[in-house]
A and B are shown apart, each in its own frame.
Chain A
């Protein structure tokens, strides 16, 4: 109750201060912090060119696109472009797969990244820490095309390393590429393998930012290492975690097309278990190269993403206003 009052006071104070200096408008702010804004300009330009301007292209989802008339001149066709997706009989399946896989990915990624960051921060041997970190980071630079070649050479039935090793011990080879079961484990595993190095850096930065005095005080109070982690480190990186998860939710409808496409490809046997929205659309439209129909799927994903982000943010806001994105 009292904290609520306090924050209301603070807000009122801010308001008053702002009202009292109306002459110092945007210009003054600009002059005072011009350097910060100058640093912001490239980012703004980047997003303007690559995110905001292309947004106008979304009209393509409602058009019968032809090259001579261009994006804006082509005739309107209403919702015709959406028909195929919902008539494919797989709209719900792939939407569910997309969400389920990405939720698993996001959860596994967050948990393993935090764990890795905590372990790394506890390592005192500097060279060992650096070497470990480098090795964890390396997969981030390998494209899925290459990874799929690795995986194929490891796991394929005839020449795969796994099959060869099993053969050496006189065990029968396993046919991973025609059993869906393995992939529920393999896909998240490969996802984590590829991204955990990157994620752990973000969390490590947050951990390094924690005031060392807190730890010293805890040591004096006789806290164990484990207690320090659970009582200090984890609570203090919670804000970072919330923001990263919220940002991660923004990608939830279009997660990792490369990965699914490169690893699974056109493999019909695995398809019900591994088909996501992107791969379905890609496969269906490769032959026709119809931009309108492709955009309709993009539009569908964007709408779902917007709903998910608003929902997640609303939930966060309800529990902890300061940690919501907006």
Chain B
């Protein structure tokens, strides 16, 4: 028995070691192959442009791109797939097949998984042709990691003629990272402004006629606390709402863009700027006006938190206030003028009168969205970048395609009224619509083809019409910080923020001044000064190139 055991052990050891050897071979092999492909590729980066220009000269000779071979294009978008997607995709594919002999396969990365799955999809590099891209969604980080295919003007001319005809030259420039363009930015940056929604009935009871700033909401909250036991005045979620009331309060003091300049992450800390300051001075958290504005906002939040106006644990709450609002669980809904439409519709359906108010800087402005706010990028490993671009040209810039991918199927998901407004077909409600507008992740399409909705309230319509007057471009609107040299510091700042900054924004700290001091000392330890130096260098570079 012992012998057998020992023998068995020796043999399994042998097996294991051979496995090890094999794995070493495997590793070496893949190393080799990647090396060889690498040696080919160092030339490839340069040749890809020459390649494409060759392709374009080819195409211009034939004036027609070759579509003889059918291809399947795989794309990744963000959010959840709407229920009606399969039918819409069928129709989309019928059209694509006829026009460019291609079919589309769409995958969705859920909101909760974006940060982990998005880089993974790109890193695996298999079976992905295009992905949603935006400056707020790792665009610069992934571009510096070579996750995207570099694009040039010739490719746009050849494969995306409609897009090329429409797009502003500034957009191409804005999308450059280290001198190369990796993104196809939308031709119509969103005209949207952040806003909050209140209930008219509660406002009346609280004696609130008009709101001019967020800090005036105290009586509104007190009224909810008094007469609506099941409603939390500020029922914040862990992703979007958490720092939002704080942002509104800070914005009463200076034009704060809701996120530090370096990471662009609203849940992080870093260095700041007054986005309306034409000189573009970079500010640390202890400089004015940042410090006093943050302390002012944190003080009010603490007061509200202590009075029970804020839910005690927003970190574990996954339902956004705008989704709780119509159910009477949140007194305020936070969103922007585009994504709030569903909330307003749901509230109207339940007979709740609403009041919307935009987030504005002290001078009454909001940041105009940059070109990079919504876009799409071609994955570096795409096998059919040409056909993918052609498909995207149709999806983004052809009116019939835009209506299909953005609104769904006519007569089933939407209809146009005789005066050209968007409405739901007979018998379909917002609850039963399987393909709600804007929900399918096609945020980069040409929004000039979209129509106003028939059920907008007067209050919303007023805001909608005023939006374009609010919007002004920020000093640093197209600036994207390249954090390559300060990655470690950025990681630590993010970590400091979750422990010492978020409690300040929620108001759950014991003492605002002490908590703020702790935050500052932790930020110093995390290396904020190095981030600031690096950012200042890049910022002045940006301002110089902009002045040209």
Contacts and interface: CB of A to CB of B under 8 A. Distances in A.
Partners in one complex: yes
Among A10, A17, A53, find the residue whose CB has the most chain B CB atoms closer than 10 A. A53
Contacts of A239: none
Interface in B9-66: 11-12, 14-16, 19-20, 22-24, 26-27, 30-31, 34-35, 37-38, 41, 45
Contact of B31 (A29, A72, A268, A291): A72
20 contacts: A14-B3, A29-B11, A33-B4, A36-B8, A40-B12, A40-B15, A66-B144, A67-B122, A68-B380, A72-B31, A73-B35, A84-B489, A87-B492, A87-B527, A89-B525, A269-B503, A269-B508, A271-B499, A284-B491, A286-B494
A11 B99 CA distance: 79
B22 A84 contact: no
A56 B499 contact: no
Most buried by B among A267, A268, A285: A268
Interface string A38-71: 0010001001100011011000000001111111
B311 A290 contact: no
Nearest to B24: A56
Nearest to A10: B2
Given A268-B502, A286-B116, 19 more contacts: A30-B11, A40-B15, A44-B16, A52-B19, A69-B41, A72-B34, A84-B492, A88-B495, A152-B313, A157-B311, A158-B232, A158-B312, A268-B503, A287-B491, A288-B490, A288-B491, A289-B141, A290-B141, A291-B119
Contacts of A290: 141, 487, 491
Nearest to B145: A66
Most buried by A among B27, B37, B116, B267: B27
A69 B125 contact: no
A284 B495 contact: yes
A84 B525 CA distance: 11
B526 interface: yes
Contacts of A40: 12, 15
Contacts of B209: none
Interface string B483-499: 10001111110110011
Contact of B30 (A37, A69, A72): A72
A83 interface: yes
Interface residues of A, number: 62
A175 B232 CA distance: 15
A283 interface: yes
Nearest to B490: A288
A265 B19 contact: no
Interface in A139-180: 148, 152, 156-158, 175, 177-178
Contacts of B37: 70, 73
Given A286-B494, A289-B138, A156 B316 contact: yes
Given A178-B508, A265-B316, A269-B503, A88 B492 contact: yes
A266 B315 contact: yes
A117 interface: no
A304 interface: no
B137 to A, nearest CB: 11
